[in-house]
Chain A
Amino acid sequence: GENVEQHPSTLSVQEGDSAVIKCTYSDSASNYFPWYKQELGKRPQLIIDIRSNVGEKKDQRIAVTLNKTAKHFSLHITETQPEDSAVYFCAATYTGGGKLIFGQGTELSVKP
């Protein structure tokens, strides 16, 4: 079945630095890759997503890149701020399937 591997499990950066989280998926049929941010005790919130027909997407300080050949996708956060501290989850799915397969999560800590 589909599997999504996410690294690193924890990431600590200084405010203003960049943070990169990487995911690898196994099912070549996957064509939609969302990223969720979850603060402690709160709901996961969709922050950015990318479809398989696009290689890169950017929204202000966050960007996602996708390498279909290598089955890799990554989240990039620039100019990190303390409020970016949270757990980030990558996920993969395919049109018609509906089920999201989540990565293990990355706990990002941004130190002031």
Chain B
Amino acid sequence: GAVVSQHPSWVICKSGTSVKIECRSLDFQATTMFWYRQFPKQSLMLMATSNEGSKATYEQGVEKDKFLINHASLTLSTLTVTSAHPEDSSFYICSARVVEEAKNIQYFGAGTRLSVL
């Protein structure tokens, strides 16, 4: 399958600072990437759909000014958590979409564990 790289894998920051997470498709081009948030023992909650060259589409209840998404190239999408607070602590996972045999397959990054102190 396709390889998606996500960095950093773990970050600790102070309350009020901003954190940038990168998601890269290593061996393919991805016009669409997705950002999820996952709480312990829960399912993946879609935050936003990242489209190359255009604005991201945010899910209901997700603050676009809080979670800035930039998809500047066909292989890179970034999520910036601005002015992070302890309630933003979570596991953030990205995925990249590949269309194979008319299937919308998503390959996931390894995730970023964010801890805000």
Contacts and interface: CB of A to CB of B under 8 A. Distances in A.
Interface residues of B, number: 24
A98 B43 contact: no
Interface string B84-117: 0000000101000100011111111111010000
Contact of B46 (A34, A99, A104): A99
Contacts of B42: 104-105
B77 interface: no
A44 B93 contact: yes
Contacts of B67: none
Interface in A36-89: 36, 41-46, 49, 51, 89
A51 B99 CA distance: 13
Contacts of B103: 32, 34, 49, 51, 95
A100 B33 CA distance: 12
Interface size class of A (residues with CB under 8 A): 20 to 34
A112 interface: no
Q: Is the interface of B mostly helix, strand, loop or mixed?
A: strand
A4 B34 CA distance: 18
Given A89-B44, A98-B49, A99-B46, A43 B104 contact: no
A105 B43 contact: yes
A93 interface: yes
A89 B104 contact: no
Given A51-B103, A97-B104, 19 more contacts: A32-B104, A34-B103, A36-B108, A41-B113, A43-B108, A43-B109, A44-B108, A46-B105, A46-B106, A49-B105, A51-B101, A98-B49, A98-B104, A99-B34, A99-B46, A100-B106, A103-B43, A105-B41, A105-B43
Interface of B: 1, 32, 34, 41-44, 46, 49, 91, 93, 97, 101-111, 113
